[in-house]
Each structure stands twice: as C-alpha cells, then as structure tokens.
Amino acid sequence: MLGTALGITKEEGLHKLWQGVHAAFARHLIYSGTRIMTYKGLKENVFTNGSKDEYFPLWKSAICGVTAGALAQYIASPTDLVKVQLQMEGRRRLMGLPPRVNGISDAFKKVWASGGVKGLWKGSVPNVQRAALVNLGDLTTYDLMKRFILRHTSLPDNHGVHVLASCGAGFVAASMGTPADVIKTRVMNQPLDDRGRGLLYTSSVDCLKKTIQAEGLGALYKGFIPIWMRMAPWSLSFWLTYEEVVKLMGAEAW
C-alpha cells in the first residue's frame, strides 16, 4: 500500500491521493446518515418496541446492521460509482488515454447518457452486498462491544470505551467486507459492450466464481491490509465524533 501511495505521488502528484474526494463526501452524507438512522430506528422502534431494556440479542443486532448497510448503500450507489470513475482518471492519463470524465457533474451526465437511470446503479448489487457485510461488522460489533464493556466492567461511557469498541468494529468490518470489496471493484471497473453490459462478468456471483477458479480463495482477501488500515481510522474517527456530537446535542447515547 505504501509503495502504491508513493508511486501515485511520484507519477501524478501528492494531491492525486485525494482524487474523487468530493464524490466521497457526497456519498458519505447520504450513506452514513442513512445507515445510522436505519439501525437506530429498527433497534428502538421495531425490535424493542420502544423499550429501554439493556439486553439486545446478537441476531437482532445483526439484522439491524445488515439492513441498515444494504439500504444506505443502495441509496448512495450512484455517488459511489462516480467516485470510483474519478479515482481511475489519473491512471488513464498516465497511460496516454483520454479522460472519461471531468468532475462529478460531468461523470453523472455521462453515466446518465450511456445507461440512463439504470446506469447510475451499475454495480449496485455487489455494492449493497459489501455494505451489508461491512455494517454487520461495524454497527453490530460496535453496539455489542460497547454494551459488553459497560455491562461487565466498571468503565464509564467515555472515550476509552468508544476507542475499544471502534477498534473491534473496524477490524471485524474489514474482515467481513474485503471479499465483497474485491468483487465490487472488479464488477464496477470491467469494460462494457455497446448495450452497457459487462464484458467480463455477468453478475457478482459470476465474478466470485471466476475469481476463485482462476486465483483461489486467497484472492478474495487481496488488499485486506490497506482496507483495514482505511477502515480502522475511519471507524475510530466516526464513532468518537458521533458519540461526542450526540452528547453535545443532549441526545441518547448509542
């Protein structure tokens, strides 16, 4: 990962490490807000019927996490597609190829022109599958670990507990999401025919089968370390910020 970062910096410039950051901001405005509200809504209004009972079983938490992640990612999929396309532009320029897109608005226009509304959700299935697994790891693990620590230790609900829970959440999320991330990236970046259909894979399941057949199960965990190194600080910063904002607003803690 470090070698890749240094190579990008040397060949394209330091600022290219943040290629597509505007699309990433747009994605997280939709994705993060939706997943948190969905998880809490399901937990508090569906599975507990408004009860403040401390005990919340794993299977219920898992359903909340999977549903929240899948719904949030499905809604945010168009912005994720644009983000990936923008991040690929630097490599295309180095290869002497003409740019496909110039900015977020241009990317959306070209995706719409080539595939219509359906084109905006290209790759949404592996996107949703990945998000469901990642949030099963992130939301569910954070919720369970935080409640476990508070219930079985004398630690107060403070930054120390939030750090411990978020570290566990980041690792589990990376472990569960890496295979889906590999499939998602391959499906979304494959070349298309004139009708907008993939030339390499017909679906995420087809991509999964071909990847295992050609490269083995280990291929599904290619990039685990950089994914974990990305998710760990993200999970830590997100949960610490979220807990602090909730506290400042006087709302109920997670």
pLDDT exceeds 70 at position 13: no
**pLDDT of the residue at 49:** 62
pLDDT, one tens digit per residue, over 56-72 is 889 999 999 999 999 99
Q: In this predicted model, what pLDDT tens digit does every residue of 177-234 receive, in sequence order?
A: 899 888 878 887 888 887 777 888 988 889 999 999 999 999 999 989 988 998 999 9
Give the highest mean pLDDT range of 18-22, 36-40, 176-180.
Answer: 36-40
Domain spans, the chain: 6-249
Res 8: pLDDT? 55
pLDDT at 9 over 60: yes
pLDDT of residue 16 exceeding 70: no
Q: In this predicted model, which residue has the larger pLDDT, 45 or 103?
A: 45
Q: Is 6-249 a domain of CATH 3.40.50.720?
A: no
Return mean pLDDT, the chain: 84
pLDDT exceeds cutoff 80 at 108: no
What does the H/E/C string look like for the chain?
A: CHHHHHHHHHHHCHHHHHCCHHHHHHHHHHHHHHHHHHHHHHHHHCCCCCCCCCCCCHHHHHHHHHHHHHHHHHHHHHHHHHHHHHHCHHHHHHCCCCCCCCCHHHHHHHHHHHHHHHHHCCCHHHHHHHHHHHHHHHHHHHHHHHHHHHHHCCCCCCHHHHHHHHHHHHHHHHHHHHHHHHHHHHHHHCCECCCCCECCCCCHHHHHHHHHHHHCHHHHHCCHHHHHHHHHHHHHHHHHHHHHHHHHHCCCCC
**What pLDDT is stored for residue 96 in this prediction?**
63
In this predicted structure, the answer to whether residue 75 has a pLDDT above a threshold of 80 is yes
Q: Stretch 138-150: mean pLDDT, rounded?
A: 95
pLDDT at residue 251, rounded to an integer: 80
- What share of the chain has pLDDT > 90, as a percent? 44
